[in-house]
A and B are shown apart, each in its own frame.
Chain A
Amino acid sequence: MNLLVNGNDLQVPSDVNTIADVITHFFEQDPIVIVEHNGEILEKNHHTERIVADGDKIELVQFVGGG
């Protein structure tokens, strides 16, 4: 399956089924992450239930230092 993650077209393994799987696939620990799935901003408690499909557009954002 291919996903467009933060502007990168990437192939992910077949065991990546949900948004939570996507996060685990890319990051070591459970980071503070905010997810936009096909233009829809997700509440954190929806990460485990939201299914991803081939071609989906996913944005993973976080808080960084700023003024």
Chain B
Amino acid sequence: MLTIGKKQFNSRLLLGTGKYPSFAIQKEAVDVSETNILTFSVRRMDIFEASQPNFLERIDLKNYDLLPNTAGAKTAEEAVRTAKLAKASGLCDMVKVEVIGCDKTLLPDPVETLRATEELLKEGFIVLPYTSDDVVLARKLEELGAHAIMPGASPIGSGQGIINPLNLSFIIEQANVPVIVDAGIGSPKDAAFAMELGADGVLLNTAVSASHDPVKMAEAMKLAVEAGRLGYEAGRIPKKRYATASSPTEGISI
């Protein structure tokens, strides 16, 4: 069970909703993922298009908690405004703070992320900041009162997987709030690895939506997150330099 603020979730997989080939495929992928939390972005509507199909109309909103992001924001003020717009929908009280500080790497701006988190906590939001894998910044976000910490595994959409497992493990060890590995996950292996490191959840989007078969990949990610979590709870064996026989060494008849 994943607990964020006062809410509990059965699934530890958080799913993004961007870049799917179609609403139909997306709906099926969301279904098989068994996720409880879907992320969204906030954008201007096209007022010259009278018909506004929206994925939100395809799903039963009772079954999901919406996690709007503040993507597009480059300052704390922009992030706060986007979060307030999202909340005014009446559909959510959580927000993923995402303040990008570099257009090429899409890495978060640590200073603005911290400022936006502080302001949104004051406003009563449930705040989940997307951050780099900086250990000290993660601690400072938690000290502010962030309800979860969401360090990136590698740059958004890069699919490079976890490039600094050491930092992630430091963040996980020190945290008293959930740590959700967000961004950069490329394959089920990466998701399982994040969970084996002790992450409380994984947030991914492109790894599913841009895969050859998003529905199958959604199921793979669900299983990977579950497997990784079980493995973490079971406790892996220590690594040894040399072999240790699994079969008894006594009673060999040759």
Contact = CB atoms under 8 A, between A and B. Distances in A.
Interface in A15-62: 26-29, 31-36, 41-44, 59-62
A32 B41 contact: no
B84 interface: yes
B24 interface: no
Given A6-B44, A67-B206, 11 more contacts: A26-B47, A32-B57, A33-B45, A35-B88, A59-B44, A65-B16, A65-B26, A65-B40, A66-B18, A66-B69, A66-B205
Interface stretch (B48-56, B220-228, B243-251): B48-56
Nearest to A42: B88
Contact of A62 (B43, B81, B204, B205): B43
A42 B156 CA distance: 32
Given A59-B44, A65-B55, A67-B39, A43 B50 contact: no
B63 interface: no
Interface of A: 5-8, 10, 26-29, 31-36, 41-44, 59-67
Contacts of A41: 81, 84-85, 88
Interface string B64-97: 0010110100000000010011101111000000
What bracket does the count of chain B residues touching chain A fall in?
35 or more
B35 interface: no
Interface string B153-172: 00011000000000000000
B140 interface: no
Given A41-B85, A44-B90, A63 B54 contact: yes
Contacts of B203: 67
B42 interface: yes
B56 A63 contact: yes
A61 B56 contact: no
Given A31-B45, A33-B45, A41-B84, A66 B51 contact: no
B41 A64 contact: yes
A33 B54 CA distance: 11
B232 interface: no
Given A41-B84, A65-B20, A67-B203, A5 B47 contact: yes
